[in-house]
Amino acid sequence: MGRVVGAAILAHVPTIMLPQDVRYDLNGGHEISLVPGLKRLREEVMETLDYDTVVVLDSHWATTVEFVITAQAERSGLFTSEELPRGMSQIPYAFKGDPKLANLTAGYDEKNGTWITPISDPHLPIFYATVNLWHYLGRGLDKRWVSMSVCQTAETEDFLRAGRALGEAIHDSDRKVLLLASGALSHTFYKLRDLRQHEASDPSHIYSPEAREADLERIEWMKSGDHARILDTMDEFKKFKPEANFSHWLTMAGATGEGANTAKGVMYSEYENSIGTGQVHVYFPEPDGGFPQPRDLVLSRER
């Protein structure tokens, strides 16, 4: 039986790909904590944990009529971002995929009331929510990497259903999987004429005090393992426009037992601003220790 051996919500902001001197210039002469945080996560988790496959829940990959999971045997190329080519240009990437897990995940979509399609097309685009994390966490390590999309027509329950399908597939496989929810917390940008005044990482630059407090509240719940409370207050959090409707975190939650998961988050960065948005790295060791078996999931949903 497979299992989720670790999970994390991680910031993928373009700033982490800028040269060090540029990062320092944007941040008042200091390093942002996101970069050393990723380096520490690589050293303490990625290079030591026993895992086969990384699944990135990619908040930048928007599909429309279904969730899509990558099913190539390998992916390689050069990535230039359409959003910020100045900061992310011709970044090399090369890693093995996991067609077996991708196809197995798609086999659990109907059971969970959703739609997931594996795609092995070698020309399928890749997004920086995956590439930036692989650049720091995957280079030089012989691990499989898979990405799963956000369906832009989906709602909270749909993200959980997709996560449940992924969780069941992992448990019915022989894989030891590390889940990376790649995306932000609150996610409102400043307008163009104002944003250069808010490029420093200090949380005082978060778009609003209310958004900052909502983010900090949820970070405390992550640290205490209170995943159920985050789920119970999703409607409140949506007022602060979490990135991609918080799909990356919700799919991770669906794959790790939802409210039954009590894994306590370990901070791998400070809580930081990125032109108004809330960014953080939080890692959850052994997140599926309380993962219900599929039969229990069905019963809990019927109650």
For domain 3-302, give its CATH number from 1.20.1260.10, 3.30.2420.10, 3.30.70.260, 3.40.830.10. 3.40.830.10
Establish how many alpha carbons lie within 13 A of residue 193's alpha carbon, considering only the half-sphere containing its beta carbon.
0
Distance CA 84, CA 86 (A): 5
Give me the tens of pLDDT residue by residue for the chain, a chain 303 residues long: 999 999 999 999 999 999 999 999 999 999 999 999 999 999 999 999 999 999 999 999 999 999 999 999 999 999 999 999 999 999 999 999 999 999 999 999 999 999 999 999 999 999 999 999 999 999 999 999 999 999 999 999 999 999 999 999 999 999 999 999 999 999 999 999 999 999 999 999 999 999 999 999 999 999 999 999 999 999 999 999 999 999 999 999 999 999 999 999 999 999 999 999 999 999 999 896 444 444 444 434 443
Backbone torsions φ then ψ of 265, nearest 5 degrees: -75, 140
Distance CA 46, CA 52 (A): 11
Token pair recorded at residue 163: 């996560």
Cβ neighbours of residue 278 closer than 8 Å, sequence gap 6 or more = 184, 185, 186, 187, 203, 206, 211, 212, 215, 271, 272
